[in-house]
Structure 1
Amino acid sequence: MMKFFKNIKGDKAIWGVVALLALFSFLPVYSASSNLVYVVGNGTTMGYLVKHALFLFLGFGIIYGVHKVPTHFFKGLSLIAMPVVLILLVYTLAQGSSSGATNTSRWIRLPIVGFTFQASTLASVVLMIYVARYLTKIKDKVITFSESILPLWIPVFLVIVLILPANFSTAAIIFFMVLVLCFLGGYPIKYLMGIVGAGLLGLTLFVLTAKALPDLFPNRVDTWMSRIESFSNSEDTEADYQIERAKIAIASGGLIGNGAGKSVMKNFLPQSSSDFIYAIIVEEYGLIGGFTLMFFYLLLLFRIVVVANANQTIFGKLLVVGVGLPIVFQALINMAVAVQLFPVTGQPLPLISMGGTSIWMTCLAIGVVLSASIKRTSSEIQSMEMDETNPLEVLSGQL
């Protein structure tokens, strides 16, 4: 065991925060899973707890394995992974399993292991690494917009277009995070404004197409619009029953909460173990528990910024921000949805919500951040900053 801990490298504070969040997650998951058992009628609470433990165990295995990979290897790996991700997204959109009455295609069912995989979460991590690689390549170079269309924006828009029909919130978050990373990476602002305009135009065309051909994308645009309308119409208390029940749960929690496992609204709030688990946490542990959880996510953000600032390479800095910032951003969105500061998005709470793909991809991103937090030798730093004029040479040299 001591030998194992000696092999753990990287930022110890990030390891500690991630471990604490994972350990704490067992309490709300075990409590909220009773909704699936006694209301929905699936499985047992102990079964869901064991499943969650297995997901976290495999997730920490991913963190450990990925954090041992030298940071510059991710450049070449992102080139290989991008075509794979695009194929998975096309396959998901073509035959992904449905989710209730909304007929969304977000998951690929893996029949051998018996669970589903959400390709969009993998796509977000891979895309951010890919964008960080490109921004490193053009750093301190004068580049025109036309030169960046094929290597940068075509992959970005392909990923977003393939995710958008089934999952608008994930597509919007990815697009926003790419813009933030490009801004921090020194990409010209005037070009970014053009990309924002193109994105808004593309979204408008998609909505108009979906309205004109409702059978092509059943229920999706109507679902988005109803969520936005219910968010903006504060007087309509029946517009979004999920938000209303989440607010009831938060209000009943008070300052110190009702105690672990004593949530009442978990039996009435849909997705209480995933998308709205923060409301259950506040109900059981009060505002103190809710703010403490928020503090740990902000602490994680602080350490991500510290690691990015301390990294000795441009790629390392952009890599840490690109894969680390979305974790905290997603957590804040999840919390904001529960208190009606943001429309319902369906984004889980990282490392807390029940769900395999979300946990694994969060752990993948954390592993990348930890890899970048390890101090490298001068020869390794030189490898990270080398000029990637020929992608085939880079791949052969790195792999």
Structure 2
Amino acid sequence: MELSVGKIFKGDRVIWMVLMFLSLLSLLIVYSATGALAYRVASGNTFKYLLRQVGFLSAGIGVILLMVNVFPIKLYSKLALWAVWASIGFLMFAVAMKGTQFVSTSGRTLNFFGVTFQPAELAKISLIIYTARILGKRQKTKGDLWDAFKRILLFTGAICGLIFISDFSTSALLFATIMTMMFAGRIPLLYLFSVVGAGIALIVVIYFTADILPSSFGRVQTMKGRIERFADKDASTKQGITQADYAKLAIYSGGIFGKGPGHSDVANYMAAAYNDFIFAIIVEEYGLIGGTVVILLFLIFFFRGVTIVRRATRTFPAFLVIGLTLVLVYQAMINIGVSSGALPVTGQPLPWISLGGTSLLFTSVAFGLILSVSHQNQKNQEIAEQPLMIKAPDEDYEIENEETSK
């Protein structure tokens, strides 16, 4: 039985263990945090969202297993450019059809015949794969690096710009990931600092002109308001208790050991308890110890990602794991930072723990790619460790060789 499980769950075993622990924690905390939502929406059926989360987690693990066992790594490199163009198409459609029956009023979610998904999630994975492909192919000369920088920057600007219209935090998250990948890919610091400086200047201009910009420009007013409430704590209290305040209350009341599973009070009146602020509910129920365990799990995942990169024998898989590991760790840091009050409020779920949806499925794609690279590394190592099979010389050949020498 052990051998058969090992043949199916291929790749880094530590990452698989991290996923199993995160899955268990996800089911416990989602069931607890969706109680109030169940009474508001599902007529008190508290098992509805638990079963929903079980379904998404099972589908996510199925996606990972399919990717690790069936599809080769080189396939994703070939599809990278097509996926990027598809992402741009979906994002442009979301901007153009915002508020219609096909796109939500926020502009984040597409709806095709009852099937919903967020194009920004597809764009994140696609752009990281494309960046890894370009960096992997252009590493020999300064001209290669300059060409790689131009190509990556072109698509990064287009995709992050389109995402920015409806989702500033995801745009910033993806931009930071791509910049870090290019730094790891030996792109000159002068190029990177120039882009980062231009990006910061643009954000500053948008912030100070947010009040006069039209509503069609995006959620800039919301972004500005959140930054101001974060910077001016006293002003935020005048507007009433916010979700950020509830999150702080949950963390404070959790203490060291927590209130126990299912005993969260804040989850009953905080709207995003099962998503954007789920880390606060974890601390409330499981205390500082539970929150530390979550952070340690993501740190373990990060260091295993570094190990996979170091063992990679080719550049594309190495850069791919760098990008995917960073985007998941960055996202977890943002969610934890927002819940604890260290960062302004954003809409980033905690990877693999928050209530499932397209975000969880695309997270499973990221894990599937990382584990696929890990499995490929293991196969390469096994091949390298195999002794050279030297065939014993044939006796007839020896006799013939001796007669010829005579």
TM-score, shorter chain, exceeding 0.5 = yes
Q: Deviations over 1:152-187 (max 9, x none)?
A: 211111101110010000000111111001001101
Aligned residue in 1 for 2:290: 289
Is residue 190 of structure 1 aligned with residue 164 of structure 2? Answer: no
Identical positions, percent: 37
Asked whether the 8 Å contact 1:250–1:283 carries over to 2, the reply is: yes
Q: Specify the SS of the correspondent of 1:155.
A: helix
Following superposition, the deviation at residue 197 of structure 1 comes to 2.8
Asked whether the 8 Å contact 2:12–2:374 carries over to 1, the reply is: yes
Is residue 245 of structure 1 aligned with residue 229 of structure 2? Answer: no
Unaligned runs of 5+ in 1: 382-399
Q: Specify the SS of the correspondent of 1:262.
A: coil
Is residue 321 of structure 1 aligned with residue 322 of structure 2? Answer: yes
Is residue 232 of structure 1 aligned with residue 231 of structure 2? Answer: yes
Partner of residue 111 from structure 2, selected from 109, 112, 119: 109
Identify the range of structure 1 (234-243 vs 332-341) with the bigger mean alpha-carbon deviation: 234-243
C-alpha spacing 1:366/1:96, structure 2 compared with 1 (3 Å): farther
Give the Cα–Cα distance (whole angstroms) in 2 for the partners of residues 150 and 211 of structure 1. 33
Highest CA radius of gyration, 1 or 2?
2
Asked whether the 8 Å contact 2:8–2:65 carries over to 1, the reply is: no
Q: Specify the SS of the correspondent of 1:140.
A: coil
C-alpha spacing 1:180/1:10, structure 2 compared with 1 (3 Å): same
Aligned residue in 2 for 1:387: none
Give the Cα–Cα distance (whole angstroms) in 1 for the partners of residues 211 and 175 of structure 2. 23
Asked whether the 8 Å contact 1:134–1:152 carries over to 2, the reply is: yes
Q: Specify the SS of the correspondent of 1:342.
A: coil
Give the Cα–Cα distance (whole angstroms) in 2 for the partners of residues 279 and 302 of structure 1. 25
- For 1:1-399, what aligned pairs fall within 5 Å after superposition? 3=4, 5-39=6-40, 44-68=45-69, 69-96=71-98, 103-111=105-113, 114-143=114-143, 147-148=147-148, 151-204=151-204, 206=206, 211-217=211-217, 220-236=219-235, 238=237, 241-374=242-375, 375=377, 376-377=379-380
Give the Cα–Cα distance (whole angstroms) in 2 for the partners of residues 16 and 58 of structure 1. 17
Following superposition, the deviation at residue 80 of structure 1 comes to 1.9
Give the Cα–Cα distance (whole angstroms) in 2 for the partners of residues 188 and 272 of structure 1. 42
Asked whether the 8 Å contact 1:243–1:338 carries over to 2, the reply is: yes
Following superposition, the deviation at residue 104 of structure 1 comes to 1.7
Q: Specify the SS of the correspondent of 2:349.
A: coil
C-alpha spacing 1:208/1:91, structure 2 compared with 1 (3 Å): farther
Q: Deviations over 1:325-377 (max 9, x none)?
A: 11111111101111111111110000000031111111100111011112244
Aligned residue in 2 for 1:385: none
Following superposition, the deviation at residue 237 of structure 1 comes to 5.1
Asked whether the 8 Å contact 1:169–1:345 carries over to 2, the reply is: yes
Following superposition, the deviation at residue 217 of structure 1 comes to 3.2
Asked whether the 8 Å contact 1:237–1:244 carries over to 2, the reply is: no
Following superposition, the deviation at residue 45 of structure 1 comes to 1.9
Give the Cα–Cα distance (whole angstroms) in 2 for the partners of residues 190 and 42 of structure 1. 58
Asked whether the 8 Å contact 1:74–1:129 carries over to 2, the reply is: yes
C-alpha spacing 1:157/1:237, structure 2 compared with 1 (3 Å): closer
C-alpha spacing 1:275/1:174, structure 2 compared with 1 (3 Å): same
Q: Deviations over 1:182-215 (max 9, x none)?
A: 0011011111112123323444565577543423
Equivalent residues, number: 376
Q: Deviations over 1:237-293 (max 9, x none)?
A: 525611111111111111111111110000121210100111111111111111111
Asked whether the 8 Å contact 2:145–2:187 carries over to 1, the reply is: no
Write the letter of the residue equivalent to 1:18: L
Following superposition, the deviation at residue 72 of structure 1 comes to 2.4
Following superposition, the deviation at residue 318 of structure 1 comes to 1.0
Asked whether the 8 Å contact 1:246–1:279 carries over to 2, the reply is: yes
Asked whether the 8 Å contact 2:138–2:145 carries over to 1, the reply is: no
Q: Specify the SS of the correspondent of 1:109.
A: strand
Aligned residue in 2 for 1:388: none
Aligned residue in 2 for 1:389: none
Following superposition, the deviation at residue 20 of structure 1 comes to 1.3
Aligned residue in 2 for 1:393: none
Give the Cα–Cα distance (whole angstroms) in 2 for the partners of residues 148 and 6 of structure 1. 38
Asked whether the 8 Å contact 1:25–1:352 carries over to 2, the reply is: yes
Q: Specify the SS of the correspondent of 2:336.
A: helix
Give the Cα–Cα distance (whole angstroms) in 2 for the partners of residues 234 and 156 of structure 1. 34
C-alpha spacing 1:179/1:224, structure 2 compared with 1 (3 Å): same
Write the letter of the residue equivalent to 1:346: G
What TM-score do the two structures reach when normalised by structure 1?
0.87
Task: Please report the RMSD computed on the Cα atoms of aligned residues, expressed in angstroms.
Answer: 2.6
Give the Cα–Cα distance (whole angstroms) in 2 for the partners of residues 314 and 119 of structure 1. 28
Asked whether the 8 Å contact 1:78–1:130 carries over to 2, the reply is: yes
Write the letter of the residue equivalent to 1:95: M
C-alpha spacing 1:208/1:94, structure 2 compared with 1 (3 Å): farther
Asked whether the 8 Å contact 1:210–1:217 carries over to 2, the reply is: no
Give the Cα–Cα distance (whole angstroms) in 2 for the partners of residues 231 and 16 of structure 1. 36
What TM-score do the two structures reach when normalised by structure 2?
0.86
Q: Specify the SS of the correspondent of 2:234.
A: coil
Give the Cα–Cα distance (whole angstroms) in 1 for the partners of residues 251 and 210 of structure 2. 36
Q: Deviations over 1:132-168 (max 9, x none)?
A: 1111111122127863465221111110111001000
Give the Cα–Cα distance (whole angstroms) in 2 for the partners of residues 40 and 235 of structure 1. 34
Q: Specify the SS of the correspondent of 2:73.
A: coil
Aligned residue in 2 for 1:390: none
Following superposition, the deviation at residue 110 of structure 1 comes to 3.2
Write the letter of the residue equivalent to 1:225: K
Give the Cα–Cα distance (whole angstroms) in 2 for the partners of residues 20 and 119 of structure 1. 28
Following superposition, the deviation at residue 320 of structure 1 comes to 0.6
Asked whether the 8 Å contact 1:71–1:316 carries over to 2, the reply is: yes
Asked whether the 8 Å contact 2:146–2:187 carries over to 1, the reply is: no
Give the Cα–Cα distance (whole angstroms) in 2 for the partners of residues 283 and 202 of structure 1. 38
